[in-house]
Amino acid sequence: MKIRVVNPNTTSSMTASIERCARAVAAPGTVVEAVTNTMGPASIESHYDDALAVPGLLAEIVRGEAEGADGYVIACFGDPGLYAARELARGPVLGIAEAAMHTAGFLGRGFSVVTTLGRTAGHAMDLAERYGMRHSCLGVHGTDIPVLELDDPKVRGVIAEACRSAVAADGSDAIVLGCAGMADLCDYLTTEVGVPVVDGVGAATVMVQGLLTLGLRKSGRGEFAAPPPKQYTGLLAGFTR
Amino acid sequence: MKIRVVNPNTTSSMTASIERCARAVAAPGTVVEAVTNTMGPASIESHYDDALAVPGLLAEIVRGEAEGADGYVIACFGDPGLYAARELARGPVLGIAEAAMHTAGFLGRGFSVVTTLGRTAGHAMDLAERYGMRHSCLGVHGTDIPVLELDDPKVRGVIAEACRSAVAADGSDAIVLGCAGMADLCDYLTTEVGVPVVDGVGAATVMVQGLLTLGLRKSGRGEFAAPPPKQYTGLLAGFTR
Amino acid sequence: MKIRVVNPNTTSSMTASIERCARAVAAPGTVVEAVTNTMGPASIESHYDDALAVPGLLAEIVRGEAEGADGYVIACFGDPGLYAARELARGPVLGIAEAAMHTAGFLGRGFSVVTTLGRTAGHAMDLAERYGMRHSCLGVHGTDIPVLELDDPKVRGVIAEACRSAVAADGSDAIVLGCAGMADLCDYLTTEVGVPVVDGVGAATVMVQGLLTLGLRKSGRGEFAAPPPKQYTGLLAGFTR
Amino acid sequence: MKIRVVNPNTTSSMTASIERCARAVAAPGTVVEAVTNTMGPASIESHYDDALAVPGLLAEIVRGEAEGADGYVIACFGDPGLYAARELARGPVLGIAEAAMHTAGFLGRGFSVVTTLGRTAGHAMDLAERYGMRHSCLGVHGTDIPVLELDDPKVRGVIAEACRSAVAADGSDAIVLGCAGMADLCDYLTTEVGVPVVDGVGAATVMVQGLLTLGLRKSGRGEFAAPPPKQYTGLLAGFTR
Amino acid sequence: MKIRVVNPNTTSSMTASIERCARAVAAPGTVVEAVTNTMGPASIESHYDDALAVPGLLAEIVRGEAEGADGYVIACFGDPGLYAARELARGPVLGIAEAAMHTAGFLGRGFSVVTTLGRTAGHAMDLAERYGMRHSCLGVHGTDIPVLELDDPKVRGVIAEACRSAVAADGSDAIVLGCAGMADLCDYLTTEVGVPVVDGVGAATVMVQGLLTLGLRKSGRGEFAAPPPKQYTGLLAGFTR
Amino acid sequence: MKIRVVNPNTTSSMTASIERCARAVAAPGTVVEAVTNTMGPASIESHYDDALAVPGLLAEIVRGEAEGADGYVIACFGDPGLYAARELARGPVLGIAEAAMHTAGFLGRGFSVVTTLGRTAGHAMDLAERYGMRHSCLGVHGTDIPVLELDDPKVRGVIAEACRSAVAADGSDAIVLGCAGMADLCDYLTTEVGVPVVDGVGAATVMVQGLLTLGLRKSGRGEFAAPPPKQYTGLLAGFTR
């Protein structure tokens, strides 16, 4: 069983950390490979970044299909390109926001999301709405720590404090980490905050693995069937199918 | 890792089938044991049956906690006693409707539920609403086959036909099986119907296993903390905590 | 016209107070009898208590049907077993949360619920959602006063203060009392708080009486028809129908 | 206890029938008087009719307050002027759509409305939404029988047939009559259709009576406090407060 | 192209200001005329005022149709009589709350409404719900400045401060002015508050003009077809159609 | 006033038709220029096409900003890249689905969308949900005519028939055209179908023009502020800001 975890940004140190977190929860027989987007932004902190990360991400899905990947995780909390990826793949594709929100929903009545820039909060709420988890998502809290500074040891305490404040303000039962770059803080925060802390990278990995075990893949009918062949031009001519 | 699958009705042949389906999807190191409720209805086909299945089901959770179970599956599509069980258990507890609906949500835009008696459709819709999956649950279709007749080979074709009709009427991408007693029809129906078919017993088993791998358990704060100690009297005196 | 008010907990002093409040609002010709559950918890303060109160409560509905009761009130704010009771009864059955929330909806734009333990707030919100009153239910406020201490004169002031705070915080037009044990505080709180205060015991009694006057009873079709006959085993063998 | 039932249209034969139906369900001590609007349309079959019925209706509320009425029923299924009437009255004011929809919600999972002109269906759905009953209102079915022809004996069968079709098409548990002019068909239709049939005139009368028994009135704070004094000019100068 | 802007209250100085604001945004070829209601309240600050403003407002629509108006703006933030006006007119009719809320929805994720009396906030929320803009309407803030005191220069600063507070409290991206009487404060407030400020009079004028340019008018089918002819009596006899 | 209409696909004949329709509704002083995406798919008929159209579309917004465009229309019914474009532009940006749905909402109670491939219906419903127009969007109807065959005269009749069927099936008051390629069928279909037909290209053009007249632009705070500067690599290196 081969699961490919795609980091939609181009920062390979972040890919390494994501891969570590995904492998830590995979079953013995499961091969987990993380790949880095080769065209797009260094980090995703706006709708603009999100949109431009998608072509490279989709190229990784196409490559994964050619190389025999069985399922995919999109390792950015904005779940960029999720539906397009689902069209391309034969097997399951999950975004980490999707996986984390559904997972947190099993743990109690409501969760808080703690994330990087406050400007992404609206998009996180849109995703909660789309996935049916709006009633459980009690708040989205920006820390205004840029994505690429998350591995600075000094920010750990700031994030822990943001989690504690969120739990108090929202009366929430769990924390959802709002960035793939926070994945390796999960254990630390669980200890510090005292409620379950859900990292979407791990959550999506076990869920994709579970879907593969169950023999389930995206439905091939209608909306998520392979996209119709089409001519592409300009810089994206290589995306012609 | 020990997962206990509780059959909330008292029919042990159904428990055996449920156990078979749960074990088929568990990882090598995971111990799956299915247990039969010892007090309650032979099958669950009404709100009355559902309500009266709960005390025995909760007794199995209490026994599981004493015997070191790490997580639980409630193997009836009405998800009876789910919140009470979540209070009692230290680890994760999932209902099969909950697990199946969230799982089906990953496969496409919408699913149809095919179930036993039509009178249970309202309750299934209530669950979809509660779990945030109402927008994906495009229809609930009763076949009016009683639960205890599901193992009659003659009904397989009727259920397959109901699945096909549901897919056509609802324009759905997947089928969710609306009864634990249908779990072992999952492969047959997948072949017959041509869309992914989700059995909640399998889905809940891999999800509980996933939550345990992630180190996640129900939040211990507030609503789902252990219930306050209380005197019970009459037939249920033994439930005093 | 005979209305049976069932106290789902086993504390008979609370039944006596409930009966007093129900009788105070019944019309001259209406016979109101309150009965105490004979198997279950001394008070209902968790999902566990709620679930285990139901079998005894349903036994009272069965007994009521045999003894000619025309309608029923379930006198616990969690409305335990409401749908199962509705299957069993020929006439109307109302829960006190259901009755109180709909009643409060007639009095203004929004109401606040003031209740006992904060851990029950999520369930109250679920009920508001189920009954269509979520838009009017502006907040649920726990006082963390246990149910069985509500008759302590010292708590009256605490509850009044919680009501005043709730009105100010939520901008609400009315208070809904979140426990049958608060029924006899209704007049006191109305005076103290200065907005209408709705007690569900009284509200449900006049509404059941009203439904009987109108000749209305639950629909006998489908979901709420009498439950199909079924074998029960173990401690609950006596519930076989 | 004096309840005033206001017929918002100017057709006094309809007022007489409404009064008969309201009195039939009132308790012995309750005085029920129905009054006819003195300025407005002969029947209400459009937003235009609805809007123009309101000034006369409000004049009846003002007169009722002067004459000591304790509560009011607005006897038109569009519930015209309900919120304005609630500002003017000290006691409770209910519309018949509001009362009928909440009442039908107690009887099963869903109801169908059967009404006069199809063009009013949108407004009925808006009311269901406003009252929180949208989830229970499974359909609104016009018969295109004008309001003032409802007392023609020949239309009874047409309405019964529309009710039967609605129950079949919507899978509903009850019928709500969508016009005050249908009130006296309630018994006939109950017999013909085989599910509970709810007439809002009766339902509102017992509910207002119930609210008065409970000592409840509209909240005097904010939105529903008496309207601020204001100069009126032109034809409506007499409405100056 | 002739657009008639109806001021539903009887205060002609307010009409003059409304006309100025509407003309300021109309295209060269567009004729904008504002008219004052000749029967009704001096200002609209309650459901009572709102209801009683409607007959005179509808008389202006009838007159406008006779005089060749192509479209209409109802210049009161409660959008009184909107649906009835839509029945009467052949061309488009927009309310200023409707126009302002949809317009503000194009500018960012959410807006705050700043209005006159706090008691009207519930009605504004109802309108947001009706127009589908509830998710964008983050708050409605009363200033308790009466409508007819809005032209007092001293209140400008109070309103600006309320706008700034609303933006901070709601985290909103724009302000919607909750009264036609605030239209000429729009530029001042835009400068003071630092977020886009939407005045419904201007917004509705350009939208009606846009609809006319597109050749769009209300649908003539069903609900918004011309109201059926009907006898009116009493003070409103003149409204007979 | 300069409005740039961006055709997100690479088919210039479609751009020409879009430009014609946009210019037909612009005011005399308004300059409307349509531009064709230079990198991306020949037409947009899947999530994959939609995602890959976005980078080129955003490049046009960047170019428009440099060239002094005041506002933008995104002329594809999937509204691709709308939020990212809103971050980049100083002035207003509207999608044609967004504009058409809000416009249709002013014309009656509900509309039907008639579109090209049925597989895009889910996305159209998602947009209706996002814009708050889900309650008005009564159905989305695919014709399975590919986008690039819309200018074949033979399909006009098929589309007209689909519109008529949609109106009958949904009971809708208006039609919304679900593809920019249908813009020039608007007049033909209006005549054929007998209800208002809304073309998003025209609707968005007059709305952007209206917003500019009102002096309104997107809010510069938070979510829609200019995206933070960021390094882009690979094929998209040129998108670095």
Sketch the domain layout of chain F as residue ranges. 2-96+202-239, 97-199
Query: Is there contact between E and D if contact means ≥3 C-beta pairs under 8 Å?
Result: yes
Beta pairing, strands C111-115 & C174-177: parallel
Only one residue has tokens 């609007």, namely: D37
For the domain spanning C108-199, the CATH number is 3.40.50.12500
Per-residue DSSP letters for E115-145? ES-GGGHHHHHHHHHHTT-TTTEEEEEE---
Question: How many whole angstroms separate alpha carbon F193 and alpha carbon F197?
Answer: 8
Of B48, B56, B81, the CB nearest to C234: B56
d(CA D234, nearest CA chain C) in Å:
32
Residues B106-119 have a mean pLDDT of 97
Task: Please choose, from the candidates A34, A21, A190, the residue with its C-alpha nearest in 3D space to the C-alpha of residue A104.
Answer: A190
Q: Would you call B220 an interface residue with chain C, using a CB distance cutoff of 8 Å? A: no
Measured between beta carbons, the chain F residues lying within 8 angstroms of A86 are: 47
Position A188: which residue type? Y
Per-residue DSSP letters for B79-148? -TTHHHHHHH-SS-EEEHHHHHHHHHHTTSS-EEEEES-GGGHHHHHHHHHHTT-TTTEEEEEE----GG
Question: pLDDT tens-digit profile of D130-168?
Answer: 999 999 999 999 999 999 999 899 999 999 999 999 999
**CB contact residues (below 8 A), chain C span 125-144, against chain B:** 126, 129-130
Interface contact E102-F105, CB threshold 8 A: yes
* Helical (H) or strand (E) element with D158: helix D155-170
Measured between beta carbons, the chain D residues lying within 8 angstroms of C102 are: 102, 105
Interface contact F45-A227, CB threshold 8 A: yes
**What's the sign of the alpha-carbon dihedral F114, F120, F125, F126?**
negative
Is residue C213 scored above 90 in pLDDT? yes
Residue F218 has a pLDDT of 84
Residue B204 has a pLDDT of 98
d(CA B51, nearest CA chain C) in Å:
7
Residue D218 has a pLDDT of 84
Measured between beta carbons, the chain A residues lying within 8 angstroms of B216 are: 103, 106-107, 196, 198
Interface contact A41-F228, CB threshold 8 A: no
> What is the rounded end-to-end Cα distance, in angstroms, of chain B?
26
Measured between beta carbons, the chain D residues lying within 8 angstroms of C170 are: none
Residue E25 has a pLDDT of 98
Q: Would you call C174 an interface residue with chain D, using a CB distance cutoff of 8 Å? A: yes
Name the token pair of C205. Answer: 């009694």
Q: How confident is the model at residue C158 (pLDDT cuts 50, 70, 90)?
A: very high
Which residue out of F172, F212, F214, F223 would a mutagenesis test of the E interface target, given it has the greatest number of E Cβ atoms within 10 Å?
A: F214
Question: pLDDT tens-digit profile of C164-211?
Answer: 999 999 999 999 999 999 999 999 999 999 999 999 999 999 999 999
Task: Indicate the average pLDDT of chain B.
Answer: 97
Position B14: which residue type? M
Q: Is F72 helix (H, G, I), strand (E, B) or coil?
A: strand
Only one residue has tokens 């069932």, namely: C6
Residue C237 has a pLDDT of 94
- Fold match flag (F2-96+202-239 vs F97-199): yes
Question: How many whole angstroms separate alpha carbon F123 and alpha carbon A223?
Answer: 9
Do the beta carbons of residue E18 and residue E35 sit within 8 Å?
no
Question: pLDDT tens-digit profile of E106-146?
Answer: 999 999 999 999 999 999 999 999 999 999 999 999 999 99
Is residue F96 scored above 90 in pLDDT? yes
Do the beta carbons of residue E223 and residue D45 sit within 8 Å?
no
Specify the DSSP class assigned to residue D180: G
Interface contact B40-C10, CB threshold 8 A: no
Residue A199 has a pLDDT of 98
Q: Is C118 exposed, middle or buried (0-12, 13-18, 19+ CB in 10 A)?
A: middle
Interface contact E228-D52, CB threshold 8 A: no
d(CA D130, nearest CA chain C) in Å:
9
Question: pLDDT tens-digit profile of C3-23?
Answer: 999 999 999 999 999 999 999
Residue A220 has a pLDDT of 82
Q: Would you call A202 an interface residue with chain B, using a CB distance cutoff of 8 Å? A: yes
Beta pairing, strands D174-177 & E2-7: unpaired
Question: How many whole angstroms separate alpha carbon C114 and alpha carbon C117?
Answer: 10
Residue B48 has a pLDDT of 98
Question: How many whole angstroms separate alpha carbon F57 and alpha carbon F83?
Answer: 12
Task: Please choose, from the candidates C89, A56, C49, E123, the residue with its C-alpha nearest in 3D space to the C-alpha of residue F51.
Answer: A56
Do the beta carbons of residue B111 and residue B138 sit within 8 Å?
yes
How many CB atoms within 10 Å of residue F16? 12
Q: Would you call E229 an interface residue with chain D, using a CB distance cutoff of 8 Å? A: no
d(CA B235, nearest CA chain C) in Å:
6
Q: Is F181 helix (H, G, I), strand (E, B) or coil?
A: helix
Phi first, then psi, for residue F122 (nearest 5°) are -60, -40
**What's the sign of the alpha-carbon dihedral A51, A56, A57, A59?**
positive
* Helical (H) or strand (E) element with C129: helix C121-131
HEC string of chain A equals CEEEEEECCCCHHHHHHHHHHHHHHCCCCCEEEEEECCCEECCCCCHHHHHHHHHHHHHHHHHHHHCCCCEEEECCCCCCCHHHHHHHCCCCEEEHHHHHHHHHHCCCCCEEEEECCHHHHHHHHHHHHHHCCCCCEEEEEECCCCHHHCCCCCHHHHHHHHHHHHHHHHCCCEEEECCHHHHHHHHHHHHHHCCCEECHHHHHHHHHHHHHHCCCCCCCCHHHCCCCCCCEEHHHHHHCC
d(CA C224, nearest CA chain B) in Å:
8
* Helical (H) or strand (E) element with F33: strand F31-36
Task: Please choose, from the candidates B54, B75, B156, the residue with its C-alpha nearest in 3D space to the C-alpha of residue B114.
Answer: B156
Do the beta carbons of residue E55 and residue D51 sit within 8 Å?
yes
Phi first, then psi, for residue A2 (nearest 5°) are -115, 120
Residue B220 has a pLDDT of 82
Q: How confident is the model at residue E219 (pLDDT cuts 50, 70, 90)?
A: confident
Measured between beta carbons, the chain F residues lying within 8 angstroms of A230 are: 41-43, 45-46, 49
Q: What percent of chain F has pLDDT over 90?
A: 97
> What is the rounded end-to-end Cα distance, in angstroms, of chain D?
26
Which residue out of F1, F216, F224 would a mutagenesis test of the E interface target, given it has the greatest number of E Cβ atoms within 10 Å?
A: F216
Question: pLDDT tens-digit profile of D72-88?
Answer: 999 999 999 999 999 99
Question: How many whole angstroms separate alpha carbon C25 and alpha carbon C35?
Answer: 17
Name the token pair of B141. Answer: 């279709």
Interface contact B214-A224, CB threshold 8 A: no
The H-assigned helical ranges of chain B are 12-25, 47-66, 82-88, 96-105, 121-130, 155-170, 186-193, 200-213
Q: How confident is the model at residue E99 (pLDDT cuts 50, 70, 90)?
A: very high
Interface contact D233-E123, CB threshold 8 A: no
Name the token pair of C71. Answer: 């309608």
- Find how far residue F6's CA is from the centre of its chain: 9
Name the token pair of E241. Answer: 């159609």
Name the token pair of B6. Answer: 């509780």
In CATH, the architecture of E97-200 is: 3-Layer(aba) Sandwich (3.40)
Query: Is there contact between E and F if contact means ≥3 C-beta pairs under 8 Å?
Result: yes
Beta pairing, strands D71-74 & D2-7: parallel
Question: How many whole angstroms separate alpha carbon D104 and alpha carbon D197?
Answer: 8
Do the beta carbons of residue A209 and residue A3 sit within 8 Å?
yes
Question: pLDDT tens-digit profile of B189-233?
Answer: 999 999 999 999 999 999 999 999 999 988 888 999 999 999 999
Is residue B241 scored above 90 in pLDDT? no
Position B239: which residue type? F
Top-level CATH class of D2-95+202-239? alpha beta
Measured between beta carbons, the chain F residues lying within 8 angstroms of A130 are: 126
Q: Would you call A108 an interface residue with chain B, using a CB distance cutoff of 8 Å? A: yes
Q: Is A237 exposed, middle or buried (0-12, 13-18, 19+ CB in 10 A)?
A: exposed
Q: Is E70 helix (H, G, I), strand (E, B) or coil?
A: coil
Q: Which CATH number fits domain D97-199: 3.40.50.1360, 3.40.50.12500, 3.30.540.10, 3.40.50.970?
A: 3.40.50.12500
Specify the DSSP class assigned to residue F114: E
In sequence order, what are the residues at sequence separation of 6 or more whose Cβ sits closer than 8 angstroms to the Cβ of residue F187? none
Touching partners of F (3+ C-beta pairs < 8 Å): A, E
Name the token pair of A18. Answer: 């994501």
Position F175: which residue type? I
**CB contact residues (below 8 A), chain E span 144-173, against chain F:** 171, 173
d(CA C32, nearest CA chain D) in Å:
16
- Find how far residue D108's CA is from the centre of its chain: 21
Question: How many whole angstroms separate alpha carbon F203 and alpha carbon F21?
Answer: 10
Name the token pair of A190. Answer: 């669980």
Of A45, A50, A126, the CB nearest to F228: A45
Q: Would you call D10 an interface residue with chain C, using a CB distance cutoff of 8 Å? A: no
Q: Would you call B116 an interface residue with chain C, using a CB distance cutoff of 8 Å? A: no
Position F82: which residue type? L
Question: How many whole angstroms separate alpha carbon F93 and alpha carbon A174?
Answer: 38
Interface contact B223-C123, CB threshold 8 A: yes
In sequence order, what are the residues at sequence separation of 6 or more whose Cβ sits closer than 8 angstroms to the Cβ of residue A152? none
Q: Does domain B2-96+202-239 have CATH number 3.40.190.10?
A: no
Q: Is C109 helix (H, G, I), strand (E, B) or coil?
A: coil
Question: How many whole angstroms separate alpha carbon B182 and alpha carbon C118?
Answer: 39
A114 bridge partner residues: A141, A177
Name the token pair of A58. Answer: 């989709």
Residue F220 has a pLDDT of 82
